[in-house]
Chains A and B, each alone.
Chain A
Amino acid sequence: MTVTAVTRRTGEPPGSLLAVSTDGLTKRFGDRTVVDGVDLAIPRGSVCGFVGPNGAGKTTTIRMLLGLIRPTAGRGSILGGSLTDPASYLHKVGALIESPAFYPQLSGRDNLKSLARLGRIPAAAIDPALERTGMTARAGDKYRSYSLGMKQRLGIAAALLPAPELLILDEPANGLDPGGIVEMRGLIRSFADDGITVLVSSHLISEIEQVCDHIVMIRGGRLVHQGPVAELAARRRPDIVVAPEHAADLGQLARILEVSGLSVAASQADGTAVVPASGVSAADLNRLAARGGITLRQISERTHSLEDLFFELTGANAAMSPGQEMGAIR
């Protein structure tokens, strides 16, 4: 397990640099451990991606942060309030948990009115929330008549009602078409511009990569990595893929490169050899191959995606937990 970048600070006092910190957060349902000793450290003002395959424990963790599920073990602090006393911090938190859930027979505006009254939030907060999410025109229509994208936007409007310092969005892009996803991305960025800390969970790492500056990776209920996205990106050193004109030359090519001190991964299946790009250029490889009398039909650079890094960090392909869907990440 790799935990990097942010030192764990549990029981953070108000005004701390962390919006969310947990220490050994654990949830067991009977014999099944769904979240296992997770130590979160999410900086204030960050847009933090919370990624992991379906069934990794993201939603259970989020529900624990929101006081919906009681942790079996561990402790934590959210915006300076203790996890054991959700009332001390939830008035500063907005949340969209899984799919949006509202009363179908009420209009969007009445749904928000009900939540505003419950949270003792002034009714004046409703219109700006609707406007920000582009829902003003349809606010008077019944919720059941909304498209999925509109339901998601109303869910975000509800999350914005308390003028939150922390916004927790669980899979906000779920079910959205490409246009809706772009729109959602823009909204999340605008929250960050306003200084709101955003914790956004997703099983789509590519989505997270585009919008987040901090990342938490979870798998099988365990934290596998957390830290700035930039730091993770820096670890994405590209590879150079070379392929000899004749597949039979692959072995010889690999030997030539290894003799030159390079680390080589040759694949007979696709007839290529992969060399880490650090300290060597495509021209160098071409030159080495030519000296050995081998003509190359392909020299290309391959950049690792965050998904590749995720699998590298988790060893996912080697040890998949039961019930986890790799397809969701791929």
Chain B
Amino acid sequence: MIVASYRSEWVKLKRKSLLLSTFLGLAAASSLFVLLIFSNATAHGSGGGLPSLQQLARPNGLVFGLTRATFLLGVVAFGTAAAQTASEYSLGTLRQLLVRQPRRVTLLTGKMLAVITFMVLATAFAAVVAFLVANVMAQSRGVSTSAWFTGTGLEDLLKALGNIELAVIGYSILGLVIGQFLRSAVAAVIVGFAWLLVIEQFILTRIVPSAAPWLPGISLSTIAGGGNSDFGITYSHGLVVAAVYIGVAIAAAWITFARRDVTA
């Protein structure tokens, strides 16, 4: 049943316009970060928080650009996912879907899994393109890439990619849930961005500065970065807090979706 919902959602997700805009958009955004990091890197020391050319030559040098691009990847994942659920209300297609699959939790779960798969694949594609760009940029800036392809380098790469994918999954689920609650893609994106970009910062700077380890956005960025040295949050703490937020969000989405009258 969930498989049927999953396969149905893919008919929509694999349309050319969405596929190209998401995959190429994410690839371009992450490549841009790589370009900026390599272009602005100085020979030694870190300028303005950017790694030096020396640091880029280390085994984990390959993942710098992509890790920095995670927030952007998350924002795109959030917006894309929110649009997928909210548009079912605005287009009125939800009523068609529910006639063919009246088990609502099954429908929503299949849909969520499809969108998450889509975003994971898009992120993986962006990572591959960013790595290719990093190799080209390393050549042009004279950075040795031999350490990147050692066992340690590849392990760092896979670990970083896994963390980024986990964060993207988190952003996608939050987008799906908020889109489901608000039933408007635009409203969902505004609320999501406002929370991540403004409200969390406001809470930290004006209300409860010690709240950082308990905020969802910071927890997701902690996962993406493999830990958060700025706030002193460990990777495992970020993982647990994000899992709690996401678990509660999914449960709330299931309950409201199952009970809500469909009048759209």
Contact = CB atoms under 8 A, between A and B. Distances in A.
A118 to B, nearest CB: 4
B11 interface: yes
A274 interface: no
A67 B261 contact: no
A104 interface: yes
B4 A119 contact: yes
B98 interface: yes
Given A115-B100, A117-B4, A118-B101, A104 B91 contact: yes
Interface stretch (A37-45, A86-94, A133-141, A281-289): A86-94
B93 A101 contact: yes
Contacts of B259: 70
A205 B262 CA distance: 27
Given A69-B262, A103-B12, A104-B91, A120 B96 contact: no
A139 to B, nearest CB: 14
A117 B7 contact: yes
Interface in B224-264: 259, 261-263
Contact of B11 (A87, A98, A99, A110): A110
Nearest to A66: B99
Given A97-B95, A114-B8, A70 B261 contact: yes
A90 B102 contact: yes
Given A68-B261, A86-B102, A158 B7 contact: no
Contacts of A106: 11-12, 15
Interface residues of A, number: 32
B113 to A, nearest CB: 14
Contacts of B107: 118
Given A103-B12, A105-B17, A120-B4, 15 more contacts: A66-B98, A68-B261, A69-B262, A69-B263, A70-B259, A87-B103, A97-B99, A101-B95, A103-B91, A104-B91, A114-B8, A114-B12, A118-B8, A118-B97, A161-B100
Interface of A: 63, 66-70, 86-87, 90, 93, 95, 97-99, 101-106, 110, 113-115, 117-121, 158, 161-162
24 contacts: A63-B262, A63-B263, A66-B98, A66-B99, A68-B263, A69-B263, A70-B259, A87-B102, A90-B102, A97-B99, A99-B92, A101-B95, A102-B93, A106-B12, A110-B11, A110-B15, A114-B11, A117-B11, A118-B4, A118-B5, A118-B107, A119-B101, A158-B96, A162-B100
Interface of B: 4-5, 7-9, 11-12, 15, 17-18, 91-93, 95-103, 107, 259, 261-263
